[in-house]
Amino acid sequence: MSDDFMLDTDDLERRMDGAMANLRTEFASLRTGRASASMLEPVMVDAYGALTPINQVGTVNVPEPRMVTINVWDKALVGKVEKAIRESGLGINPQLNGTIIMLPIPELNEERRRELTKVAGQYAENARVSVRNVRRDGMDQIKKAKGDGLSEDDQKLWESEVQDITDRHIKSIDDMLETKQSEIMQV
- How high is the pLDDT of residue 55? 87
Per-residue pLDDT tens digits for 131-159: 999 999 999 999 998 888 888 898 999 99
- How high is the pLDDT of residue 17? 94
3-state secondary structure of 68: strand
Residue range 9-25+109-185, CATH number: 1.10.132.20
Assign residue 51 a region (left: φ > 0; alpha: ψ between -120 and 50; beta: otherwise). Answer: beta
Q: In the chain, which residues have pLDDT < 50?
A: 1-2
10 touches 23 (CB < 8 A)? no
60 touches 37 (CB < 8 A)? yes
**Is residue 76 packed enough to be buried (19+ CB in 10 Å), middle (13-18) or exposed (0-12)?**
exposed
* Residue 45, φ and ψ in degrees, nearest 5: -110, 140
**Boundaries of every domain in the chain:** 9-25+109-185, 34-104
What is the distance between the alpha carbons of residues 102 and 161, in angstroms, rounded to a whole number? 50
Residue range 34-104, CATH number: 3.30.1360.40
What is the distance between the alpha carbons of residues 6 and 165, in angstroms, rounded to a whole number? 16
- How high is the pLDDT of residue 69? 92
- How high is the pLDDT of residue 187? 61
- How high is the pLDDT of residue 140? 93
